[in-house]
C-alpha cells in the first residue's frame, strides 16, 4: 500500500512500507539526522549505525516487524523524511516496541503523527493491541507525541544510557486520539487508505 498525503506546510509525500532494497534511503536518512536526534533515537551518538542495526531495521515482514517510511515526492531524488517501526514482543504477541524518527528539517510538520497513524492502523490489522516505547527524558517531542496518543508511563530506570522512561500506548485509544486531531492536514488520507483496505 502507498498513501499519498501532505505535511502541514503542503509538502507532498508518500508513505509506504519499508523494503529490503531501501538500505541506501535508510542510511541517507540517518546521516541527515542531527547528532542530537540520532542520540535521542538510538540512545547513541553514532554517525552511522553498524550493519547489524541496518539489517534489523530492514528485516520487515509485515507481521512481527512492521515498518513504514515517508518519502518526499516533489523532488527528483525522492529523499526519505522519516520512518516508524513496531517490533512484536516474542513473549507477549499482542505487544510491540514502537519507534519513530523524522529528519530534523521536517520536525513540527505533522510527519511523526502521519507515520504513527499509519503504523497504528497496520499494527491493529496484525493483531497488536499495545505499543511500548522507551524515551529519554530530554526528548520532549517524543513525550508530547506519546501523551497525545494516550500513552502512560509504566517505568523509569537508569543505566549506562542515563534515565529512560517507558510508556505503553493502547493502539485503539491512540487511533481515536489521532482521528480527533484537527492540526495535522494529511491524517484524513491515512484513515481513508486503511478504511479502503479493511
Q: Would 152 be classed as within a structural domain?
A: no
Specify whether the CB–CB gap between 162 and 134 falls below 8 A: no
What is the domain count for the chain? Answer: 1
80 neighbors 28 (Cβ within 8 angstroms) = yes
The answer to whether the CB of 149 falls within 8 A of the CB of 180 is no
Domain that holds residue 74: 2-129+174-197
Rounded CA gap, 153 and 134, in Å? Answer: 10
Mean pLDDT in consecutive groups of 10 residues from the start of the chain, 198 residues: 95 96 86 70 67 88 97 93 95 95 92 97 97 86 90 72 82 95 90 77
pTM for the predicted model, two decimal places? 0.89
Q: What is the pLDDT of residue 135?
A: 83
Amino acid 198: pLDDT: 47
Q: What is the CATH number of the domain that holds 16?
A: 3.40.630.30
Q: What is the pLDDT of residue 123?
A: 98
Q: Residue 26: its pLDDT value, please? A: 86
Instruction: Note whether residue 121 is domain-resident.
Output: yes
pLDDT at 34: 74
In a domain, 140, yes or no: no
Amino acid at each position: 500500500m502507498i498513501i499519498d498525503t501532505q505535511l502541514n506546510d503542503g509538502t507532498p509525500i508518500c508513505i509506504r512500507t519499508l523494503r529490503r532494497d531501501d538500505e541506501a534511503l535508510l542510511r541517507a536518512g540517518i546521516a541527515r539526522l542531527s547528532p542530537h536526534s540520532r542520540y535521542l533515537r538510538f540512545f547513541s551518538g553514532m554517525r552511522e549505525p553498524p550493519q547489524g542495526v541496518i539489517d534489523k531495521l530492514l528485516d520487515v515482514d509485515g507481521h512481527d516487524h512492521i515498518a513504514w517510511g515517508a518519502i518526499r515526492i516533489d523532488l527528483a531524488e525522492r529523499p526519505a523524511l522519516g520512518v516508524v517501526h513496531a517490533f512484536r514482543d516474542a513473549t507477549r504477541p499482542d505487544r510491540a516496541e514502537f519507534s519513530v524518527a523524522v529528519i530534523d528539517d521536517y520536525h513540527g510538520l505533522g510527519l511523526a503523527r502521519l507515520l504513527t497513524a499509519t503504523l497504528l492502523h497496520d499494527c491493529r490489522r496484525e493483531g497488536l493491541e499495545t505499543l511500548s516505547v522507551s524515551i529519554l527524558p530530554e526528548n520532549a517531542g517524543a513525550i508530547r507525541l506519546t501523551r497525545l496518543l494516550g500513552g502512560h508511563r509504566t517505568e523509569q530506570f537508569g543505566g549506562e544510557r542515563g534515565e529512560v522512561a517507558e510508556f505503553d500506548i493502547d493502539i485503539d485509544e491512540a487511533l481515536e486520539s489521532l482521528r480527533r486531531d484537527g492540526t495535522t492536514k494529511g491524517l484524513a488520507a491515512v484513515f481513508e487508505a486503511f478504511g479502503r483496505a479493511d
